[in-house]
């Protein structure tokens, strides 16, 4: 396939915008929960349900669409997913009560399931293995840039004009992106014949779970997101309560963390292309453990903040390396369902981690959150298989 610079440019921009909008609309939910509670009179115990229903719907949806993407092609799955998510995000304008939020976030999670793994699968189908790390790092920078710019701005707009506005803006971005995908980006591989793809569809995922390589990657993904959510869910509240950071301080910190994540993703992509996926995963995982241990030791606010910035940087570096590794273990014909299966189990890690984080923090304090973040990292280091 001839790969012109113009074609590659549109691929990069389209995938970057998908990551920017899809990540932004998810990341902005947590800081907006207090506004949902006040604006829509939602009970406190219902706020966690709003977050959980998105991940649950995404996990279920991605299992279905992973197989479909192998049939209809990556380009079409990206178009359908980005267009459908744009509609569900624009529907956030209709929020009136808890049921509205629950239903629309569930639909948004379903559309997120369509896109799950699609960007990584497209990169793996289109680019040679020696360039995939850098491309994944660049695409993931869309998420970091969203955290730096769109999320803080979205929080401001939501407080001033209503919680629906940032979601609608992300929806408009995805409408433009879906047009760009349909018009300008190519289908990277020949699609698998429908009869082959649908043969024994009910046993395809069971067969994959029996594959030792796939099951190993699944365990790693669960551990990665479990450790991430146990830590990130409550560290802002801990900084506010323990170290007396103001809302403005936290906003500034999140901008710095976003920049660190941006650098972590880009540098990780280059590193794993030059050396190996295994080194990228294990080195970044090792640095996470190191800075978590330092976070337990240090007491002063400045040292604590520096540790958190580096932890988030290496969280991103590890994720980019692991996502690239998952795309390497598959072939074009089954890459969609393999990636979606692995990422669906990652959502299980998110659900368990975020649920445990609140209980641990309320009853035992954030120090135990840190310790329990280290444990999945150690398990990953010991049992990781290349």
State pLDDT tens for residues 275-331.
899 999 999 999 999 999 999 999 999 999 999 999 999 999 999 999 888 888 876
Question: Is pLDDT at 197 greater than 70 in this prediction?
Answer: no
Distances (CA, A) of 18 to 25, 196, 326: 11, 30, 20
Give the CA count within 13 Å in the CB-facing half-sphere of 305.
18
Phi-psi region at 245: left, alpha or beta (left = phi > 0; alpha = psi -120 to 50): beta
- Under the banding of pLDDT at 50, 70 and 90, the label for residue 120 is confident
Number of domains making up the chain: 1
- Distance between CA 152 and CA 262 in Å, rounded? 16
Helices (H), the chain: 5-27, 29-39, 44-72, 74-90, 98-115, 118-126, 129-145, 151-161, 164-184, 194-198, 201-210, 212-232, 235-242, 247-274, 277-297, 301-328, 335-364, 366-383
Are 112 and 54 in contact by the 8 Å Cβ rule? The answer is yes
Which comes out higher in pLDDT, residue 290 or 198? 290
Q: What percent of the chain has pLDDT over 90?
A: 40
Give a yes or no: residue 198 inside a domain.
yes
Domain that holds residue 118: 5-380
Alpha helices in 73-128 (DSSP H): 74-90, 98-115, 118-126
Q: Report d(CA 99, CA 36) in Å as an integer.
A: 12
In a domain? residue 385? no
Domain contains 134: yes
Q: Is the pLDDT of residue 351 over 70?
A: yes
Contacts of 18 (CB under 8 A, 6+ apart): 78, 81, 82, 115, 118, 119, 142, 174, 177
Query: For residue range 35-69, what is the model confidence (pLDDT) as tens digits?
Result: 777 788 876 567 767 877 888 888 888 888 877 88
| For the ranges 149-158, 266-275, 306-315, the one whose mean pLDDT is highest | 306-315
Mean pLDDT of the chain: 86
Kindly state whether residue 153 falls inside one of the protein's structural domains: yes
The confidence score (pLDDT) of residue 13 equals 94
pTM greater than the 0.85 cutoff: no
Main-chain dihedrals φ then ψ at residue 139, nearest 5 degrees? -65, -40
CATH of the domain at 143: 1.20.1250.20
Q: Domain for residue 386, yes or no? A: no
Is residue 1 within 8 A of residue 186, CB to CB? The reply is yes
Q: What is the mean pLDDT of residues 110-135?
A: 86
Report the alpha-carbon distance of residue 207 to residue 227 in Å, rounded: 28
Any domain includes 346: yes
Whether 4 shows a pLDDT value over 90: the answer reads no
pLDDT of residue 45: 60
Q: Token pair 């977050």 is at which residue?
A: 51
Residue 191 has pLDDT above 90, yes or no: no
Task: Quote the tokens at residue 13.
Answer: 């921009």
């Amino acid at each position: 396939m001839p790969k012109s610079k113009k074609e590659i440019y549109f691929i990069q921009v389209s995938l970057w915008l998908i990551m920017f909008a899809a990540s932004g609309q998810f990341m902005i939910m947590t800081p907006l929960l207090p506004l949902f509670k006040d604006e829509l009179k939602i009970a406190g115990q219902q706020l966690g349900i709003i977050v959980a229903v998105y991940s649950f719907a995404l996990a279920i949806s991605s299992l279905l669409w992973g197989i479909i993407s192998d049939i209809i092609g990556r380009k079409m799955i990206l178009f359908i997913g980005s267009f459908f998510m744009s509609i569900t995000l624009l529907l956030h304008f209709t929020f009136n009560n808890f049921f509205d939020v629950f239903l629309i976030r569930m639909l948004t999670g379903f559309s997120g399931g369509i896109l799950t793994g699609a960007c990584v699968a497209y990169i793996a189908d289109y680019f040679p293995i020696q360039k995939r790390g850098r491309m994944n790092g660049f695409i993931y920078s869309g998420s970091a840039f969203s955290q730096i710019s769109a999320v803080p701005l979205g929080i401001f707009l939501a407080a001033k004009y209503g919680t629906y506005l940032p979601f609608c803006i992300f929806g408009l971005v995805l409408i433009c992106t879906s047009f760009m995908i349909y018009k300008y980006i190519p289908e990277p591989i020949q699609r698998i014949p429908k009869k082959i793809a649908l043969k024994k569809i009910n046993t395809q995922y069971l067969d994959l779970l029996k594959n030792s390589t796939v099951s190993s990657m699944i365990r790693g993904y669960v551990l990665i997101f479990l450790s991430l959510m146990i830590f990130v869910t409550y560290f802002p509240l801990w900084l506010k309560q323990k170290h007396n950071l103001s809302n403005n301080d936290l906003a500034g910190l999140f901008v710095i963390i976003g920049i660190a994540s941006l650098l972590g993703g880009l540098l990780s992509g280059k590193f794993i292309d030059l050396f190996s996926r295994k080194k990228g995963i294990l080195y970044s995982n090792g640095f996470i453990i190191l800075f978590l241990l330092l976070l337990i030791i240090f007491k002063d606010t400045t040292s604590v903040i520096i540790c958190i910035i580096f932890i988030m940087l290496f969280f991103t570096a590890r994720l980019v390396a692991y996502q690239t590794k998952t795309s390497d273990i598959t072939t074009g014909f089954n890459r969609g369902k393999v990636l979606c299966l692995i990422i669906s189990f990652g959502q299980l890690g998110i659900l368990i981690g975020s649920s445990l984080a609140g209980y641990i923090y309320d009853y035992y304090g954030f120090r135990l959150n840190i310790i329990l973040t280290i444990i999945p990292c150690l398990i990953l280091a010991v049992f990781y298989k290349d």
